[in-house]
Structure 1
Amino acid sequence: MADRQLRTVLEGGGFFEGPRWHEGTWWVSDFYRHTVSRVAPDGAETVVVEVEQQPSGLGWLPDGSLVVVSMKDHRVLRHADGSVSTYADVTEHCGGHLNDLIVDAQGHVFVGDFGFDLMGGGAAATASLKRIGPDGSVSVAAEELQFPNGAVITPDGGTLVVGETLGNRYTAFDLGADGSLTNRRVWAALGPEVTGTTVDEVLGQLVVAPDGCTLDAEGRIWAADAVGGRVVRVAEGGQIVDEVAAPAGLGVYACMLGGDDGRTLLMCCAPDFYEHNRAPVREAVLVATEVDVPHAGRP
């Protein structure tokens, strides 16, 4: 594993999530400052939109408008021309907070949810991956996923791979031009099958908890390991071929490849992910390092 130097890009966050590289700048959500910001490579931050009910996943529709998850009220918002509107309400398909999303080339939005009350210690349950069509219609694209979270789409647009944070795995689907997900299979097994009904039982069985992630040009996925204090580079099948440790005392909960050459790996770091710990303080940081293989695919 390479020894890499980390540099701090931005400090003072509540809990950073959903990092993206778009039009020459970083974009990131902050759960507990309730903001979506652009962050220049030199760390200059510009708040673009505020989301009262907690922002998470970010993406862009074919018309260039921003879509952002509003977690606690289960909505996907659309930001365009300085105004914010509800793009879709997916409450009927949610068992917990809405979370990360990804947008395909045709404008289908795929978004997962926690499946249960993670912060309140509710019984662990599976969740679905929701699909929002270009016309705003909502349907369930896949069911029985163990905390569907960060996802990538291959450069040819034909495969969607989603991390199951509480499942020790990545699951792949063939992605149709109509937004259909078929041919479900395990893309990478990162640990044994997870069982149990309590959060503590499930967390205790996790080898790698794939959180926010990004795809590179060799078809490997850089994944934040939400229980390991690191990002790991995962090959199809499950082999970990590289990793980068977070700064001491911090976990990593999302990552993204970007920069002008696609080789900058941005990491969203914080001491933990629990709302009661993170919301009152500003200890989250964005850190970055350089890798050899550039970004590919979506997001």
Structure 2
Amino acid sequence: MMSEPKLLLDELNFPESGRWHDGRLWFCNWIGQQVVAVSAEGNAEYFDVPVERLMGWCIDWTPDGRLLTTGDKLRRYEADGSVTVLSEQGANELVVDARGNVYLNGADFDFAGGEAPKPGWIKLVTPDGAVRQVADDIQFPNGMVLTPDGRTLVISESFAGRLTAFDVEPDGGLSNRRVYAENLGPDGICLDAEGAIWVQTADANVVRVAGGGEILERIDLPFEDRAPFSVALANWDTPTLCVLTAEWRMNDPIPDNLTRLTNGLRTGQVHTIPVRVPPAAG
């Protein structure tokens, strides 16, 4: 029987983009414009970041350990404290491969303002700064993961309720588009060492799913008016699933929910649940 979620950290604005890095859970605190790193004991460090967007940005690291952020631009944080703009391309989520290629995703419509959705895209930023689109017609692109061998990319298509997989070509392009799993409610996702993905469901719970859609495990979250916007695997004393949540009234329009968040409500929380399989290497 799965353990009940344990509260690790609360009084956050809107935690998103959970990542396991250097022994801690890292995530974006949207609206607060902070990157947060937290230990297994709940000791948190907060870093202010100059992202010119309150909502819709993400973090990852270059192969040599420098922090990247999306948002209005793709930025890299240097060891001397300076910030380098790698691309003027705004984006939602990102993931980085072992060669330093950066995959960005986004959609060109005003989500927060309630504008009618438009199909989104995935773009590749190579280490020399070149940008090219490598996939389109993504139904609200969200979380992405790369397999440790760098050969497969999986993305959340939130509005389609599915995970979609691509083969990664030697030049970084994407091919062989296919459904990884469907009938979900995917947002920020994570990959484990056995190749399964933890992902959200349409009823605001989380499942561990294999390629092809087989549900391997399910966790029913005991939250009301609270949605799991991102999940991340930590490798503390035991493998741990971290669930990043915030108040979200499922029957209310998106702009109304976002207005409550930007008006100063600090309903964001991080919960932890022991699991069997650690995060994928990388």
Give the drift of 1:262: 6.7
Q: Which of 218, 221, 229 in structure 1 is aligned with 2:197?
A: 221
Deviation digits for residues 272-293 of structure 1, max 9, x if unmatched? 1732111221011001111111
Aligned to 1:218, the other structure's residue is in SS state coil
Q: Which of 212, 231, 235 in structure 2 is aligned with 1:255?
A: 231
Q: How has the CA–CA distance of structure 1 residues 85 and 275 changed in structure 2, closer, same or farther, with 3 Å as cutoff?
A: farther
Which range moves more in the overlay, 123-132 or 272-281? 272-281
Aligned to 1:239: 214
Give the residue type in structure 2 aligned to 1:56: W
Give the drift of 1:126: 0.5
2:94 pairs with 1:101: yes
In 2, the alpha carbon distance for the partners of 1:251 and 1:140 equals 31
Matches within 5 A, 1:70-219: 70=71, 73=72, 75-81=73-79, 82-91=81-90, 98-188=91-181, 190-191=182-183, 208-219=184-195
Q: Does the 8 Å CA contact 1:216/1:295 hold for their aligned counterparts?
A: yes
Aligned to 1:22: 21
Q: Does the 8 Å CA contact 2:107/2:121 hold for their aligned counterparts?
A: no
In 2, the alpha carbon distance for the partners of 1:153 and 1:43 equals 28
Aligned to 2:113, the other structure's residue is in SS state coil
Matches within 5 A, 1:26-41: 26-41=25-40
Give the drift of 1:22: 0.6
In 2, the alpha carbon distance for the partners of 1:86 and 1:130 equals 16
Q: Does the 8 Å CA contact 1:26/1:38 hold for their aligned counterparts?
A: yes
Aligned to 2:279: 295
Aligned to 2:261: 278
In 1, the alpha carbon distance for the partners of 2:128 and 2:200 equals 32
Stretches of structure 2 lacking an aligned partner (at least 5 in a row): 249-253
Aligned to 2:251: none
Give the drift of 1:48: 2.4
Q: How has the CA–CA distance of structure 1 residues 24 and 173 changed in structure 2, closer, same or farther, with 3 Å as cutoff?
A: same
Deviation digits for residues 57-108 of structure 1, max 9, x if unmatched? 21111221110112xx2x11111222223121115xxxxxx31111011111
In 2, the alpha carbon distance for the partners of 1:264 and 1:257 equals 6
CA RMSD of aligned residues (A): 1.8
TM-score of the pair, normalised by structure 2: 0.90
Stretches of structure 1 lacking an aligned partner (at least 5 in a row): 92-97, 192-207
Q: Does the 8 Å CA contact 1:141/1:181 hold for their aligned counterparts?
A: yes
In 2, the alpha carbon distance for the partners of 1:149 and 1:258 equals 20
Give the drift of 1:15: 0.5
Which range moves more in the overlay, 46-55 or 107-116? 46-55
Aligned to 1:276, the other structure's residue is in SS state helix
Give the drift of 1:297: 4.6
Runs of 4+ that moved beyond 4 A: none
Give the residue type in structure 2 aligned to 1:217: A
2:63 pairs with 1:62: yes
**Percent same amino acid among aligned pairs?**
36
Q: Does the 8 Å CA contact 1:255/1:266 hold for their aligned counterparts?
A: yes
In 2, the alpha carbon distance for the partners of 1:246 and 1:14 equals 20
Aligned to 1:123, the other structure's residue is in SS state coil
